[in-house]
Structure 1
């Protein structure tokens, strides 16, 4: 119990400072290269915070566990929308420019519909994996080519390494990402150990502690970005992370080893697509994710976990 408590404490410290370094470095790079905060969130931060999902799904693919590989992505995407943006908006309402939403929302919706269509037959082939990887390259090219530097007016907290060049700021981003990944892993390990000692079931541990734990990098980086006034960076983080989870994580996993899923995944595929569409609708109504919207998104995640618990999904 003492060791597990120590892991949780160390994990929290790593998460806090890792998120701080990541957002600080990303903000300075955005200012330096005149890249919009949304694009930084959707590419650099989105890719980095998807690293745990990428590792898990590739390992699952190599071990022939299609359920774990795909379940990891679907569960993570639902948590990103419900928990990450929901919790962040409950603390700090998030705004996004209407034009930016019109440009980026279709990519997220298309990616969600794509994984639903490709995985509907409970199989993902190498060809389908290759298609997703090609679409990932197209997404990255489009995101960077559509960058609008006119709104790059970012504020930041603190003076740590403020006057250093882009190489140092890039290193700060990398260090922040590594700290986030290890912080999340150690916190999950500690919380799981304590839960097991208390006799809590493995299923509950999986759908609560582990699910939240794998989303901790996104939660921390989004909250820090939002509290510093970078709402678009927080939204871009989730948009990018969910797109990377589908196109990169599932694309790489199924390209390495074709995936076969032996359980009924149709309800989960429908739920994640519906939740994505709800998110886009909420933002489109006012170009803001309000505190009330945040509560609704968190409630949707709670409903998903509850329905899974009673076997409806």
Structure 2
């Protein structure tokens, strides 16, 4: 319920709530990421692990919250649409803006390309397989290709994320980076908790306002999640990665991109399912979007592998690709194209 029913719901009110909620997500995420970086320094985490786990999990909390609240509101399509749309935004827009903001080519490393990027592609495949298993083993009768994503199935991507954390833990042990005891861990944990609370409240209202606008204007929930909610929840990742690129830290910038997407796919979606018990997914809607995500990931992977850096021309190509994606989503919404069946 928008603003907990304190004011009458109208398109103008919903748009205002959407803008304010997005601003609050940005503020709360800033606190969350600052505390996450301080905790990474306190515990002595390497730059790649800091970007791919600590900062990535922190900046991905808006996506996690959007999935949870969307699932509780019976609008899971908004949540999973936000995750997929955010993942596409992350691999196309964030590296592009980071590359353009960097004084030189955005540097990558073999760790980023051969560990983070490839494990992320494994995460995409794992979630597609999980959704396919839902259609095969828990089909929902109807004209569309639907299936119930249950708690046992949701454990598959979660277990894979456990493997990811184990790999990162091994890297931390091998690096042996000393911690920084001058950082106040108590203050960092407190700031982290406050940031999470602000994000929770903001995302709850954001999901409700988007759902209400979708009902008013007849826009499919999934497409709203892919565009509006995805862009709003990806704002923290964008700010973190761009700032890291300006500071000359390409490892943290790109590590945040792949780490955030890995968390979104393997944790955010399953957690929403674990909370509500089971959700119905439309496989015919999800697969075309995952196909776009796969192509976007391959495009970024190819750009990074050539010279282990992202040039200005490659960054511009990524940005143009996202513009084409948005144009396609608008065309789907207007009925000009119909590649997404049942959206």
Q: TM-score, normalised by structure 2?
A: 0.72
Please tell me whether the aligned partners of residues 84 and 226 of structure 2 are also in contact (alpha carbons under 8 angstroms). Answer: no
Q: TM-score, normalised by structure 1?
A: 0.78
Please tell me whether the aligned partners of residues 11 and 182 of structure 1 are also in contact (alpha carbons under 8 angstroms). Answer: no
Which residue in 2 is equivalent to 1:233? 252
Which residue in 1 is equivalent to 2:140? none
Which residue in 1 is equivalent to 2:139? none
Which runs of no fewer than 5 residues in structure 1 stay unpaired?
Answer: 153-161
Task: Specify the SS of the correspondent of 1:276.
Answer: helix
1:167 aligned onto 2:186: yes
Q: Relative contact order, CA 8 A, sep 6+: which one is greater?
A: 1
Aligned partners of 1:211, 1:279: CA distance in 2, in Å? 19
Please tell me whether the aligned partners of residues 69 and 204 of structure 2 are also in contact (alpha carbons under 8 angstroms). Answer: no
1:16 positional shift: 7.0
Alignment coverage as a number of residue pairs = 299
Please tell me whether the aligned partners of residues 68 and 271 of structure 2 are also in contact (alpha carbons under 8 angstroms). Answer: yes
Cα-Cα RMSD: 3.8
Aligned partner (choices 31, 40, 65) of residue 55 of structure 1:
65
Q: How does 1:1-313 map to 2 (within 5 A)?
A: 15=26, 19=30, 25-92=35-102, 93-120=105-132, 121=135, 122-123=146-147, 124-147=149-172, 149=175, 163-172=182-191, 208-255=227-274, 256-262=276-282, 264-311=285-332, 312=337, 313=339
Worse overlay, 96-105 or 131-140: 96-105
Structure-2 change in CA distance of 1:63 and 1:13 (3 Å): closer
1:178 positional shift: 6.1
Please tell me whether the aligned partners of residues 79 and 211 of structure 1 are also in contact (alpha carbons under 8 angstroms). Answer: yes
Aligned partners of 1:77, 1:8: CA distance in 2, in Å? 21
Worse overlay, 113-122 or 296-305: 113-122
Task: Specify the SS of the correspondent of 2:285.
Answer: coil
Which runs of no fewer than 5 residues in structure 2 stay unpaired?
Answer: 1-11, 136-145
Deviations 1:271-307 (Å, cap 9, x if unpaired)?
1112112212211112112222222222221111111
Aligned partners of 2:82, 2:230: CA distance in 1, in Å? 9
Structure-2 change in CA distance of 1:265 and 1:23 (3 Å): closer
Aligned partners of 2:167, 2:69: CA distance in 1, in Å? 30
Task: Specify the SS of the correspondent of 2:115.
Answer: helix
1:106 positional shift: 2.4
Task: Specify the SS of the correspondent of 2:266.
Answer: helix
Please tell me whether the aligned partners of residues 11 and 186 of structure 1 are also in contact (alpha carbons under 8 angstroms). Answer: no
